Amino acid sequence: MENEQLLESVRNKALSWLSDSYDAETRAAVQKLLDNPDPTELIECFYKDLEFGTGGLRGIMGVGTNRMNIYTVGAATQGLSNYLKQEFDHLDQIKVVIGYDCRNNSHKFADISADIFSANGIKVYQFEDLRPTPEMSYAIRKLGCQSGIILTASHNPKEYNGYKAYWDDGAQMVAPHDKNTIAEVNKIRSAGEINFKGNKALIETLGKEMDDQYIKDLTTISLSPDSIKRHHDMKIVYTPIHGTGVHLVPDTLKAFGFTNIIHVPEQDVVSGDFPTVISPNPEEPAALSMAVEKAIAVDAELVMASDPDADRVGAAVKNNDGEWVLLNGNQTALMFVYYLITRWKELGKVSGKEYIVKTIVTTELIRTIAEKNGVELFDVYTGFKWIADIMLKNEGKKTFIGGGEESYGFLCEDFVRDKDAVSACAILAEIAAWSKDQGVTMYQLLQKIYVEYGFSKEKGISVVKKGKSGAEEIDAMMKHFRENPLKEIAGSKVTLFYDFSTLKGYDFMENETLTLKMPTTSNVLQFFAEDGTKVSVRPSGTEPKIKFYCEVHAKISSEEELPAAEHAAHEKIEQIKYSLGI
C-alpha cells in the first residue's frame, strides 16, 4: 500500500510537469518516464524535491523535482531573489555575482540564473567564462555585492551539478540567511512562479580585469619571495583535471615567481565529461596518476591538482627513496599551518591576536602546533562556511593566519571567504622552495613536523548508499551509533562522546554530561579514546554516503621511528574499521 501511495504521488508530481509552464523538451522527457513500465527512474526523479540546503543545491542532472535542471535552478534563483529584495530593500540597487565551472549545463544554468536575477531588478556581474569558486567569492567582496552564486558540483562525478549560494561577505550563507533563503525557495511551487524573462541591461560581464586584480592581491600573501627567487625554476607539474584552474593557477604561480610550470596537456582540455578520469576528485589517487606520470618523466619536484571548481588541491611529493607519494588533506593542512605560523613568527607578524581555524574532523595535530606557538585555534563544523563565519566574527579584532579542512581545502588569505586552490597551489609551491632553503624536501618537512609535534595518521572511509533506500540506511546507521555509543575503540577506552545534533556530550572519566558550544546543531558524532584516537561519524551533506573519520596518534623521538609508527597506526585503523563494522 505504501509503495502504491508513493507511486501515485510521484505520478501526480510528474503529470504537473506536462503543463505549458515547462518547455517541450522537458515535457517529452517526463512523458517518456511516465510511459516506462518500470517506474524506478520516475520515482528517483520525483519522489522528493531536490533540497535547497544550507549550501545550496547539488544533484544528478535530469528532469524532475529531484534533479538539477533549469526549473530547480530557476526556483532556487527566484527564491534567492525574493529574499534579497526583502533583506536589502533599502538599497537603490541589489548586486550579485555569478560564476560557473566546466560541468555540462553549468554555463546554461548560469545564463538562466542571470536572466532570473535581472528580471527581478537585480544587477548581475557574470563571469565571461568558467572561473574558480574562490574568485567568485573574491568578486562579491571586491564589487560590494549582496550575494553570489556559482554553478558547480565541486568534485562529484560528471552526472552531477550544483548551485552554491553566497552572502555579502563572500562566504556561503549561515544563519539566519541560509534558513530564510531556503524558506523562500520552498515557496516556489511551480515553474509559472519563476520570472525567466531577463533584463540584459542589468547583466555585466566580468573578465580579465577581475582575474588580474585577484592574482595581484594573492601575491601579497607570499611569505618567502627570496626562496622563490633562488628556486624559481624548480619543476612543478600542475593539472586542473579539466576544470577552472586551467589558466588562473599557472598564471598565479608565475606571478609568485615560478618559471617552470609543467602541464598535463590532456587534462588542460576543459570538459564536463572529465575524459581522462573516472572522478575529478583530487582525494583519489587515480585523479593524479597522469600528473605523477608526467612528474616522473620530467623529474619534477612537486605535483599539484585542483578539482573542477578549483577550491581544493591535491599534492604529491617524493619520499626519501625518490618514490612519489600522495599527501592527504590532513597532511597538506599540517604543512600549511606549520609553514604559515613559522614564517609569521620569523617575520615578526605574530602579536598574540592571530588565529587558525580547522574543522572538527581535521587532525588534532593542528591544535598542538597552534597552541605550542601561542596562536589561538577555532574548531568548527565541516564546511568552509563555518571557517568563514569565524573570520567574519573576528574581523577587525583578530588576525586570520589560515584555515583548512581534511577534505583538501585550505585558505591562506582573508580577502576570500571560501577554500582556495589557486592560493593554496601558490603557497604549496612556496613551501617547496622554502624547504629547499632549509635543506629538506617537502616529504622531510612533514617528517620533521611529526617528530616535533607527534605522529598522526588519519583515514577517511566513505560508505556509499544511493537513492531513497540508501538515505534510510544512513539514517539507521546514525541512529545506531547515537543510541549505542562506542565504549572502546581498538582496545582503548572511550573517554568522551560528543553528539552535535543535541549539542550534548558525555565525559566517561568524570561521569558527567557536557554542553557543546557550537553555533547550531549538526548531525555529527565524535568519540575520543584514552590513547588519543578520534573517530567522527557524519552523513555527507552533498553526496549519498556516510563518512567515518579515523585518527590515531603516537609519540616519536626521531625520524627513524616513523616506519614503525606508521605500521602500528595502519593496524590500529584496521581494528577501528572492524569495531565500526565497516
Which amino acid, one-letter code, is at 73?
V
Strands 354-359 and 376-380, bridge-based pairing: parallel
The pLDDT score that the predictor gives to residue 463 is: 87
End-to-end CA distance of the chain: 34
Whether 422 and 518 share a structural domain = no
**362 and 400 together in one domain:** yes
Last residue of a domain, one of 205, 237, 266: 205
Please state, for a pLDDT cut of 90, what percent of the chain lies above it. 91
pLDDT over 80 at 510, yes or no: yes
Closest C-alpha to 575, from 546, 550, 554: 550
Taking the C-alpha atoms of residue 59 and residue 69, their distance in angstroms, rounded to an integer, is 9
What CATH number is given to the structural domain containing 357?
3.40.120.10
Domain span at residue 545 reads 455-580
Query: Partners of 550 in the beta sheet?
Result: 459, 535
Q: Are residues 199 and 161 in the same domain?
A: yes
Cα 243 from chain centre:
15
| Residue 3 pLDDT | 78
Residue 515 has pLDDT above 50, yes or no: yes
For the whole model, what pTM was predicted?
Answer: 0.94
330 with 421, same domain? yes
Cis peptide before 176 (omega within 30 of 0): yes
24 with 125, same domain? no
The three-class DSSP label of residue 147 is strand
pLDDT at 1: 42
Tens of pLDDT, residue by residue over 205-221, are 999 999 999 999 999 99
Residue 471 belongs to domain with CATH number: 3.30.310
Looking at the structure, do residues 77 and 37 belong to the same domain, yes or no?
A: no
Domain count, the chain: 4
* Claim to verify: residue 70 and residue 176 sit in the same structural domain: yes
Which among 395, 419, 453 is the end of a domain? 453
Section 262-266 average pLDDT: 98
Q: Which residue has the cell 580577502?
A: 415
Strand partners, 98: 126, 149
**Are 441 and 481 in a shared domain?**
no
pLDDT above 90 for 466: no
User: For 234-256, what is each residue's pLDDT tens digit?
Assistant: 999 999 999 999 999 999 999 99
Span 424-449, average pLDDT: 98
Regarding whether 351 and 225 lie in a shared domain, the answer is yes
Contact (CB, 8 A) for 77 and 117: yes
Burial class from Cβ neighbours inside 10 Å (0-12, 13-18, 19+) for residue 9 reads middle
Question: Where is the domain boundary, 205, 233, 257?
Answer: 205
On whether both 7 and 68 belong to a single domain, the answer is no
Active site residues: 154
User: Is residue 541's pLDDT more than 80?
Assistant: no
Could you tell me if 439 and 514 lie in one domain? Answer: no
The pLDDT, as a whole number, for residue 544 is 81
Task: Based on the fold, state whether residues 307 and 380 are members of the same structural domain.
Answer: yes
The answer to whether residues 75 and 64 touch, using CB atoms and an 8 Å cutoff, is no
Integer Cα distance of 398 and 351 in angstroms: 10
pLDDT confidence band for 2 (50 / 70 / 90): low
Q: Which residues pair with 203 in a beta bridge?
A: 124
